[in-house]
Amino acid sequence: MKARARIIVSGRVQGVFFRDHTRRWASSLDLTGWVRNLRDGRVEALAEGDKENIEELVNRLQQGPPLAQVDDVDVSWEDYKGEFKEFRVTYSDFW
């Protein structure tokens, strides 16, 4: 089943290659969407694809890359729209 999820990750998640790891993980799971830094130090991702693969991405984000410290992962499920062709790192919300 296709799904879409907005994922907010809190903790020490900026400056530790978190976005790049997220992009690589999502791409390996055939997900599309984006990931970006938020002004308040959190990271936001929007992922589309098979629901099971999004759930696997969320599991990986809960662990984070080696230098990260993840405190919380909040997931909001949305209707699938199919609007992306790839998964990429986008500009922060404060650029």
Catalytic residue numbers, as ranges = 19, 37
Beta bridge partners of 64: none
Which among 43, 55, 44 is positioned nearest to 16, based on CA atoms? Answer: 43
Which among 42, 31, 39 is positioned nearest to 5, based on CA atoms? Answer: 31
**Angle at CA 20, nearest 5°, toward 18 and 24?**
115
